A and B are shown apart, each in its own frame.
Chain A
Amino acid sequence: MEVNPLSVILVKSDSKGDRLLFRYPFQIQENKETSNRARKNPYALSVVEESLQSVAVSSSNINKGVLTGLSDEVLSSLFAVKTDLCDKKFELKVNDVRFVSHPTLLQLQNEQSEKDDSGIMLINIVFALSALASHSVVRCYHDLSQRFGIILRHEEKRCSFVSEQTQRMMTAHDECTSNNGSAFQIILEKCTLANNIKKLYEDLSSTGLVNIIVNRWISLTFCLPQKAHQWHLRGQTIEPEDIDRCLLALRPYHSLLLLHPVEHIIDFTSLDSSPSLVKMLTQYSPMKNLQTLAADSDLTLSHVFELTAHLVYWAKATVIFPVCATNRYVIASNAPLHHTSPLIEKFSKAFPGLHLIKAIHEFSVPTSLHSKLDPFSKPTLQSSLVQNIIWMLQHHLLLQLHTYIEYMPTDNGPPSLKDQKKIAKTPSPRTSSVLSASFPDASRTESESGASTISEAQELMKHLNMENASFTSIEDDKQDYQEELLVDFPDEERNEIFKIPATNTPEDLKLFARLCRKGYFEGSHHIEEIMYLENLRRSQLTQLLDKFREILITYDSEDPAIAMFSCTT
């Protein structure tokens, strides 16, 4: 794994020089002599040209996930940076290892420094990573190093923690003259700071969730999202940017899906966690959307969004559309379903008597809860089915399909070429009211003056209607209200629309025009979103889509905003 740290290194530099105080992991070399070099074959011919050619040195400093080839002295000299580079990001790449840190300057608090005024110390907690680690991973490690530095600075000020710990480490190094790592063992036994670093390394390489208490006083919690999300999404790297985008797309109708039982999450929250988080978790249900959740737990919606963002970032939850009877689900394209999958056993354990493969097989074609239940089935069956679906969603085995709508009035697709530019610039020009004299294109008003008044516009409108009437052969006696409803549509689109019989029903045409003007038919809103935003019933909308199916094309797809945790293609 390239997100795991290879090593964590602690270096100090002060008036007495620089020193590598501690690094983890370390190995105690016992027989240093034999491992050093293989004997040279005395019979081998020495090739003369070799001395001219550059010797191919293996340029790797990583051996089985451990940093090698760089002595402590070299590391110490590299990380005891000049003061110009302090208190900013430090990044150094040597061959295939990338070192990242935030060198921190701190004022020592011991008595000695007060005497000779030399009490500035540079402390540097360096993470050695594989050079393949991405930009965002490096940024996260830098952040962690910076936080650690701030804590150390604070602890030094509070109780001269750093000077005491460094003194102990120095003494251990001085006592242990043999340079084989045994000094590190002694330091680990004696120093709390070394133990903190050990725990830090272990947390980072196991879960990516750091939870340490420095000097038994200040807690340092940190999440490395690229690692933390591995446990539920094996083989995929979730970048912090992915999460940010998901959270930007969060809507009140979405809902929170915890990946752990609620009790576990409450255990995970630290002592000084926000009480509103606990409040929200007590009201949690995957069937509630965020808006309901906010109302039930008596919090503001924006705060619920923040809490959701927090839980998602820390890999404790994911975002779904609330489970309801009309949701259609299919198997996720990368669902790890094979006959040796541990999920099969896990599922049977959670739901005795059921087989995962048989249960999920029905989702090979889009299936809704509604279609799986008939009115005579027992209510217990429904609740168990819901539980099944929630379990599968938690394991990213299912994807929800949404219906998107694209408005295609003519053969050439959505709004004709000349309007396209205008639409691209202003998101929905159709929201302008009928009489606001904003005609979509200049070509039709070229005979008029540029600044057309309202009355002129109305006149022109009538004129246009007359003109239309000659073209529309199917419906020639369209009433005024129909024309008015579609007045800002281009002629050719209007002609196509009027070929549809449903335009004779004023309600249908009104609804169509309203939704079309608001830009819902541009493929970026799914039916559920339109229902939510426009306060419509599903049946109203599906009827409308059916009536206008000639010009409204529907297709099914997953919601790109929330599907990124299960389908990053």
Chain B
Amino acid sequence: MIVDFSDKNYFSSLLKDGLIRCIFFCEFHHTAGPIISCQVPENFVSKELFDSISVYIITKAELQRSTITVTLEDCKVLGFPIRIDNKKYERNAFHFNLCFVCDSETRTVQYEHVVTKFSDYLMAMEIESRFLSTGKSNEKLTPILKTVLEDLNTKGECALLEGPIATHLKVCRIRSDPTPVLDHQVPVFMKALPPHQWDLTTQQVTPYIDGFNHVARIAALSDVDNNLVKACVQNLVYYGVVALVPLFQYGNIYCATWKLRSLAQDRELQKRCLTYVSRTQRQVPCLRDVFRTYASMSRGTTIRDLCTRFNLANMRINERKLVQFGVLEGLIRRIQKYPILVGEHTELQKTFTGTYSVDEICCATGVTSQQLEDRLERDHIVMLLCK
């Protein structure tokens, strides 16, 4: 049996963002206790189910204004309990909670802020005009909940403009923080920059992102401070507009990864690859040549070696694009060289720790990698580890 390692669904199934199945509004009735007074769609949450979880919905005082999610076998209820203290209410307080119901195997963190904001909106409406507590909340709330449910599920955002107060709800996807951008990395556009009111730095920086300029060079070309460029690129990475690849040099070493197999099988990937790596628009290279070039990338073989071994121009392959595509798709991987000091030398100790790659050192000190490697070859107290 062959296990398919490229199966990404395996992981994404655990982290799927779920749709909202139901929204309900529940309140603490002064005689009946916690009840659902409005629900869209109707009867999604049964009375029995609600009774067993009502303690997490109409909560004790300490848990007011906390986002509470309770996961059951077949659904997940996300709420934000609120209490308004006022003498005019029976029992001197009005408790309510607006809850979203989702499937239990999905992620719901992205709705937490929406629920909080929506609850605050309802609270403001209640304080202004006793919107919720006058008894007819069902008729007034049902259309609102219906729009919110539909709009959030389809468009991911919703505007509530009726009534004295307006509010806007938007589901923001929670992404992990991007790693810090380094001087020697090269940003590449993954998709066209969305037409947007980008900030001034981004407007100034983006024309220089061509897939070959590294960050420090972009900073120099666009006349923008280095740290600002990094912040800008990091922001674009966060939104998935650009990806970072290592700097291209003819002395670089790459190696094939096990994902190279997918190039031989995936027709769609082949098509994209061939158009991406071709020298001219008109004539695309043939797959066997491209595959053979990727397959020949191994530790100890530089791109310069490859160019001399194969006549890449004749094969209509643009080697820079070839490397870029391979790195972006994970077909190949850059082998970095890490100088590490093995003797005693106080000055060099700071630089050659084994954690900084040749690229980083070159970028920081302004020497070419050839010069650095030649120097290191003469010294015997520094070793180059390729990994």
Contact = CB atoms under 8 A, between A and B. Distances in A.
Interface stretch (A143-151, A314-322, A402-410): A402-410
Given A339-B340, A556-B298, A557-B256, A357 B63 contact: no
A414 B265 contact: yes
Contacts of A120: none
Interface string B58-71: 00101101111111
B383 A357 contact: yes
A93 B68 contact: yes
Given A358-B383, A408-B287, A333 B333 contact: yes
Contact of B295 (A85, A414, A553): A553
Contacts of A361: 383-385
A46 interface: no
Contacts of B267: 417, 420
B63 A365 contact: no
A559 B286 CA distance: 28
B71 A92 contact: yes
A561 interface: yes
State which size class the interface on B falls in: 35 or more
B209 to A, nearest CB: 24
B32 interface: no
A174 interface: no
B291 interface: yes
A91 B71 contact: yes
A524 interface: yes
Contacts of A78: 55-56
A164 B48 CA distance: 34
A558 B300 CA distance: 16
B139 to A, nearest CB: 27
Contact of A413 (B49, B65, B264, B353): B264
Interface stretch (A24-32, A241-249, A464-472): A241-249
A179 B344 CA distance: 60
A169 B265 CA distance: 65
A249 B4 CA distance: 10
A523 B264 contact: yes
Contacts of A73: 60
Contacts of A88: 73
B120 A330 contact: no
A555 B294 contact: yes
Contact of A411 (B53, B288, B354): B288
Contacts of A524: 2, 261
B259 to A, nearest CB: 9
Contacts of B224: none
A335 interface: yes
A135 interface: yes
B193 interface: no
A414 B267 CA distance: 10
Interface string B2-44: 1101000010001100000000000000000000000000000
B322 to A, nearest CB: 15
B387 A335 contact: yes
Contact of A54 (B56, B120, B255, B385): B120
A337 B385 contact: yes
B294 A338 contact: no
A37 to B, nearest CB: 16
A65 B197 CA distance: 41
B245 interface: no
Contact of B291 (A77, A91, A339, A408): A408
B260 A557 contact: yes
Contact of B286 (A134, A357, A411, A554): A411
A364 interface: yes
B261 A404 contact: yes
B256 A413 contact: no
Given A91-B70, A338-B340, A412-B286, A74 B60 contact: yes
B386 interface: yes
B85 to A, nearest CB: 12
B99 interface: no
A24 to B, nearest CB: 21
A557 B258 contact: yes
B298 A366 contact: yes
Given A59-B67, A339-B340, A560-B258, A241 B333 contact: no
A85 B261 contact: no
Contact of B69 (A93, A341, A523, A560): A93
B338 interface: yes
Contacts of A131: 109
B295 A554 contact: yes
Interface string A317-337: 000000000000011111101
A337 B354 contact: yes
B292 interface: yes
B340 A406 contact: no
Contacts of B15: 135
B60 A522 contact: no
Interface string A19-42: 000000000000000000000000
B63 A74 contact: yes
A412 B264 CA distance: 10
A411 B298 CA distance: 22
B291 A553 contact: yes
A473 interface: no
A89 interface: yes
B291 A337 contact: no
Contacts of A533: none
Contacts of B340: 337-339, 357
Contacts of A406: 261, 264, 291, 295
Contacts of B49: 84
B270 interface: yes
A12 B199 CA distance: 57
A553 B292 contact: yes
Nearest to B11: A241
Given A339-B349, A355-B342, A408 B288 contact: yes
A461 to B, nearest CB: 28
B123 interface: yes
A374 B278 CA distance: 46
A44 interface: no
B258 A404 contact: yes
A134 B14 contact: yes
Give the one of B267, B338, B354 with max A CB within 10 A: B354
22 contacts: A332-B387, A335-B387, A338-B353, A339-B353, A355-B342, A357-B385, A358-B342, A358-B383, A360-B385, A361-B384, A365-B386, A366-B300, A404-B261, A406-B291, A413-B288, A414-B265, A523-B261, A523-B265, A555-B295, A556-B255, A556-B298, A560-B5
Given A335-B387, A365-B386, 20 more contacts: A57-B65, A70-B62, A84-B49, A85-B52, A92-B68, A135-B15, A249-B3, A331-B386, A341-B354, A357-B383, A364-B387, A411-B287, A412-B286, A413-B287, A523-B265, A524-B261, A556-B256, A556-B298, A557-B260, A559-B258
- Nearest first, the 6 A-B pairs at minimum CB distance are A523-B261, A338-B354, A555-B295, A411-B286, A91-B71, A413-B287
Interface of B: 1-3, 5, 10, 14-15, 48-49, 51-53, 55-56, 60, 62-63, 65-73, 109, 120, 123-124, 127, 255-258, 260-261, 264-265, 267, 270, 286-289, 291-292, 294-296, 298-300, 330, 333, 338, 340-342, 349, 352-355, 383-387
Interface of A: 52, 54, 57, 59, 61, 69-71, 73-74, 77-78, 81-82, 84-85, 88-89, 91-95, 131, 134-136, 241, 245, 248-249, 330-335, 337-341, 355, 357-358, 360-361, 364-366, 404, 406, 408, 410-414, 417, 420, 522-524, 553-561, 569
